[in-house]
Amino acid sequence: MSTEVSTIAQHYNQLGQSDVEKRKQSPIYYLRSFNNWTKSVLINEALDILRKDNRGRRIRVLDFCCGKGGDLQKWIIGNVNYVVFADIAEVSVQQAENRYRDRRRNRRIFEAEFIVADLCHDKLSPKLRNPSQMFDLVSCQFSFHYSFETYERAERMLRNACDRLAPGGLFIGTIPDAHEIMRRLHSSPAETFGNDIYRVKFNSKDPAPLFGAKYHFYLQEHVDCPEFLVFFPVLMKMAEKLGMTLLVRSTFSEFFEEHRQNQKYKELMHRMQALEKYSHTPDSEEEYSHAEAEIDRLVQLGISNPVVVSSRGSRAFTSFICFVRNLLLGLFFRVLCRSPNGKWLPCTASSSSRKQNEARCNLSSDTQLYVQNLTGPN
pLDDT digits (tens, 9 = 90+) for 265-288: 777 777 766 665 544 454 544 555
| One-letter amino acid for residue 140 of the chain | C
CATH number of the CATH domain containing 70: 3.40.50.150
Task: Look at residue 203 and tell me if it is in a domain.
Answer: no
Question: Could you tell me if 172 and 275 lie in one domain?
Answer: no
| One-letter amino acid for residue 373 of the chain | N
User: 268 or 304, which is more confident?
Assistant: 268
Count how many domains the chain has.
2
Question: Could you tell me if 160 and 295 lie in one domain?
Answer: no
Residue 221 has pLDDT above 60, yes or no: yes
Given a contact cutoff of 8 angstroms between Cβ atoms, the answer to whether 229 and 176 are in contact is: yes
Rounded Cα gap, residues 325 and 174, in angstroms: 10
- Boundary (domain end) residue, out of 323, 345, 367: 323
Q: Please report the DSSP string for 284-346 in residue order.
A: HHHHTHHHHHHHHHHHHHTS---EEE-TTS-EEEEHHHHSGGGGEEEEEEEEPEEPTTS-EEP
User: DSSP state, 146?
Assistant: G
Task: Look at residue 57 and tell me if it is in a domain.
Answer: yes
Question: Could you tell me if 247 and 360 lie in one domain?
Answer: yes
* % of the chain surpassing 70 pLDDT: 63
Task: Tell me the average pLDDT of the chain.
Answer: 73
User: 10 or 208, which is more confident?
Assistant: 208
Question: Could you tell me if 288 and 139 lie in one domain?
Answer: no
Question: Could you tell me if 338 and 292 lie in one domain?
Answer: no
Task: Look at residue 194 and tell me if it is in a domain.
Answer: no
Question: Could you tell me if 108 and 250 lie in one domain?
Answer: yes
Whole-structure pTM value: 0.73
| One-letter amino acid for residue 362 of the chain | N
Question: Could you tell me if 236 and 277 lie in one domain?
Answer: no
122-132 residue pLDDT tens? 999 999 999 99
Question: Could you tell me if 240 and 367 lie in one domain?
Answer: yes
42-91 residue pLDDT tens? 899 889 988 887 777 799 999 999 999 999 999 999 999 999 999 999 99
Picking from 65, 87, 68, the residue whose alpha carbon sits closest to that of residue 23 is 68
Picking from 134, 162, 137, 111, the residue whose alpha carbon sits closest to that of residue 43 is 137
Task: Look at residue 81 and tell me if it is in a domain.
Answer: yes
Domain span including residue 279: 271-323
Rounded Cα gap, residues 109 and 286, in angstroms: 47
Task: Look at residue 211 and tell me if it is in a domain.
Answer: no
Q: How far is CA 43 from CA 159, 271, 308, in A?
A: 21, 17, 24
Predicted pLDDT at 309? 30
Task: Look at residue 40 and tell me if it is in a domain.
Answer: yes
